[in-house]
Amino acid sequence: MYFTKHLIDTALQEDIGSGDITTENLVDENIAGSGVIVAKEPLVIAGLDIARAVFRRLDSDIEFTSGYGDGDSIKTGDTVLAMRGRLRPLLMGERTALNFLQHLSGIATTVRNYVKQIQHRDVRLVDTRKTTPCWRVLEKYAVRVGGACNHRMGLYDGVLIKDNHIAACGGIAKAIRTVRGKISHLVKIEVEVVDISGAEEAVAAGADVIMLDNMDTDQTRQAVKVINGRAIVEVSGGVTRNNLTALADTGVDVISVGALTHSAGSVDLSMRISQEY
């Protein structure tokens, strides 16, 4: 995919610049060896193909072996990825590969913990557009690896009428009516509401999906009753591990959580290099 290739090239250029003055002055370009990436904590791995692509961008002859695939649970001390080839590209690509792998695995690990908490409930966990600029495709991929689903990818693939749209347009019903007349009949319309009256207006106007924004558990339960199956109900805003289960038990269909991407920390992985081939 173009975005991924471009991101890898940009990341390598950012790190290597005009050249790795340490590696190029210490390591002969023809010396071969091996490397292993090791987990230093329990995690869900994501981004193995990206890590391989980083090294292959520097040397297409590097060989890889791994007993794991994206989505697997990894224990402390496990070798996630092993590689053989010239030592220069292994050393030069180490940090960039680890940055991708640690960040994406951090998201997948965070998501897996959320998913486990509500795994026996009939509700879908999704992400948001609160992603790192230029990393969205990869971060949303990591969300899927962790076991959750994606909300819209961008402004181009789904209608979501938010509070500022409503303010600019002059009301919920008018906004729904206006956009309905301009888009394909195949596209669903989602509307963000902040109170019960907004939910009533949205469902009466024919919204396909109603997002309950920053409503507490009692308000959410009441809104679900008002909507009464006439639209998909999504809850968003202020969702944490502390209230996730309670919100899932209100009868909503979808829970969107920005923290799956914007607050997920990187996991701890390290790479060890050896002259043994």
Q: Pick the catalytic residue: 121, 124, 129, 130?
A: 130
DSSP result, 35-98: EEEEESS-EE---HHHHHHHHHHH-TT-EEE-S--TT-EE-TT-EEEEEEEEHHHHHHHHHHHH
3-state secondary structure of 264: coil
| Distance of alpha carbon 243 from alpha carbon 249, whole angstroms | 10
Give, as one character, the DSSP assignment of residue 243: T
Instruction: Tell me how crowded residue 39 is: count the other CB atoms within 10 A of its CB.
Output: 20
Q: Pick the catalytic residue: 127, 139, 192, 234?
A: 192
Catalytic site includes residue 268: no
Catalytic site includes residue 122: no
Give the residues across from 191 on adjacent strands.
161, 210
Q: Pick the catalytic residue: 84, 121, 124, 162?
A: 162
Question: Residues 6 or more apart from 206 whose CB is under 8 A from it?
Answer: 176, 180, 189
Give, as one character, the DSSP assignment of residue 241: T
Q: Where are the alpha helices (DSSP H) in the chain?
A: 2-16, 23-26, 48-58, 87-117, 136-146, 163-169, 172-180, 196-204, 217-227, 244-248, 259-262
Catalytic site includes residue 95: yes
The H-or-E segment that residue 160 falls in is strand 159-161
Q: Quick one: which of 150, 156, 236 has its CA closest to 191?
A: 236
Q: Give, to the nearest 10 degrees, the angle between helix 136-146 and helix 87-117.
A: 50
Q: Pick the catalytic residue: 20, 72, 84, 95?
A: 95
Catalytic site includes residue 195: no
Catalytic site includes residue 174: no
Residues with catalytic roles: 95, 130, 162, 192, 213
